[in-house]
Amino acid sequence: MNNIHLINHILIDHKIAILRDEKTKCKQFREVIEEIAMLETLEVLKDAPTKTVTVKTPLEMVEQTIIKENSIVIVPILRAGLGMVNGVTAMLPAVKVGHIGIARNEETLEPVEYMCKLPQDIQDKMVILLDPMLATGGSACAAIQVLKNRGVKNIKMLNILAVPEGVEKVAKAHPDVDIYIAKIDRCLNEKGYILPGLGDAGDRIFGTK
Ligand code: PRP
Ligand code: URA
């Protein structure tokens, strides 16, 4: 059964208001996407693989639990997921980064995969998929399937905005995947855009419109 983690925090709401505002320019939009990804990382890492190390403080030795960074891989779904990478690596600088390129066909809204480059040893890792938008859920399902085909068993999906039908689709197709969402919006419009949403995340991050 899925775990849907809705990250309910006023600081995230505050930052989502900046993303939603049509007047927010590319530079600030990019910065805020990174900041929200960083905040969401705190929640995902509650489940992180850990180990115990011994540290010498100025006063004595202490056993300390730390994150096994080399057991975690992050995978942005291109393009918009790229905007979240720096937010996660600011917290976990040693993680490896894979890439899955998926674009929605604008007519059918079906996901089309156009590139995939993943670390060789990914199957034993905790893999965190990054994409700010979960709309129909088609892209998320396709990316999760790519990871499963490579033998990955521990998958987390990190989104910023989602709609109920998209979450349900992913949850039904992949009940073993944990989904972390900053905000669940109302519905999709006839073109598959999230309402009230923030528009096209990739275009706003990269200034392509
Ligand atoms: C956007 C977004 C997701 C996808 C969500 O990408 O970043 O990947 O749409 O929609 P879905 O849940 O209906 O599949 P898009 O296809 O626009 O590509 P881009 O990131 O390159 O702009
Ligand atoms: N992808 C986006 O970038 N925005 C949406 O609202 C839906 C899908």
| Protein residue with its CA nearest to atom 7 in ligand 2 | 193
pLDDT at 171: 97
pLDDT at 1: 53
Count of other CB atoms within 10 angstroms of residue 18: 17
Ligand 1 first shell, C-beta below 6 A: 77-80, 102-104, 109, 111, 131, 133-140, 166, 192, 200-202
Name residues whose C-beta falls within 8 Å of residue 104's C-beta, 6 or more positions apart in sequence.
110, 111, 112, 135, 136, 138, 139, 192
Give the angle subtended at the CA of 99 by the CAs of 93 and 104, to the nearest 5°: 135
The model carries a pTM of 0.97
Q: Rounded to the nearest 5°, which phi and psi values hold at 153?
A: -110, -25
* Cα–Cα distance for residue pair 153/69, rounded to 1 Å: 17
pLDDT at 209: 83
- Our mutation pick for probing the ligand 2 site, out of 193, 204, 205, 206, counting the most ligand atoms within 8 A of Cβ, is 193
pLDDT at 152: 98
The answer to whether the CB of 203 falls within 8 A of the CB of 150 is: no
pLDDT at 166: 98
26-54 tens-digit pLDDT: 999 999 999 999 999 999 999 999 999 99
Half-sphere exposure of 31 (CA within 13 A, CB side): 6
Angle between helices 138-149 and 164-173 (to 10 degrees): 20
72-86 tens-digit pLDDT: 999 999 999 999 999
**Which residue stretches of the chain have pLDDT < 70?**
1-2
pLDDT at 2: 66
